[in-house]
Structure 1
């Protein structure tokens, strides 16, 4: 696995405008976090590596033509808001749907979208209750074991959809467990922020 990147801002390789939006998002996170607990307080001092770069690394793995993004369990906006910020520069016609069941976190996400002028919407709902979304990219970070993630994502797949799931040190065991119920066509990509973690890119997903 790769070692963590030492300069997360330089690693993003985006414009000054996009970098400024990311800074504004971190400032919003710091402002709201004491009241809502969007992320662990211990990670705020290292937010650029632990949250921004950790989320942004997904963007390059998405299909180049993908327009409809779906982020499951968005929480504090990772990776959904970060990817929407990158898309404002790199793929401005794409749309981003963030799903978050917690009303207070949804309010934060909507405020961030408004303040940053993003082409994104928030659905305050349990994932299981969503109508099919027809997404071309589905993302999730620290949401659920892979076997459950497959069940949550499957109803929302568009043809040739790519699922980008961030997984920790137990990823191999999670894949083995998921393969009991699911046929998976996937690639593994080393995380830029955690030497024990990977990004699992599912290129095809179907029931066994």
Structure 2
């Protein structure tokens, strides 16, 4: 599917296929896990028909991913600071690449016929792992904004609004949990926790910038 897609469309820069999850018998899918959070484990499904992706947030997953070499060379490759090193859970390298592609007039596509199945690691099926993953997602988003030239004081407004929105939804869903799945409560708590990581990274980035300016002027 990938080879044919690139051969038929010279403007196709990035493509990705559907990713399903394989759960071990002694580690079934937990009730507290929403579909959105399952995406952190690799789940990726935009349906059974091809999709021309226009929003970076829908970027294909690296588990089942293709990229045109000429485009990759054009943008200078992946940013290594967005990838995972050691035990950190930095991410967003695919999202950043999709954003670059769309801004440059390239196409990004979801190819449902390119299917991959991914085994879920049991050590990740724990609320603590998802909270940590959410925290690093906030840090990753802050760094991605720095790369995109979107860093600055306005980040406090964006992060603060998302934090309040996530907490509000978590509380609201908790009060309505008889009619709503608890997985959505946890999803919003993870989202909110990630915004705290985002805001702390914003503080660190602005402080580092201020110190750099002082050193340059001293």
Structure with more relative contact order (C-alpha pairs < 8 Å, separation 6 or more): 2
Q: Same fold (TM over 0.5)?
A: no
Rg larger for: 2
* Structure ranking higher in strand proportion: 1
* Structure ranking higher in helix proportion: 2
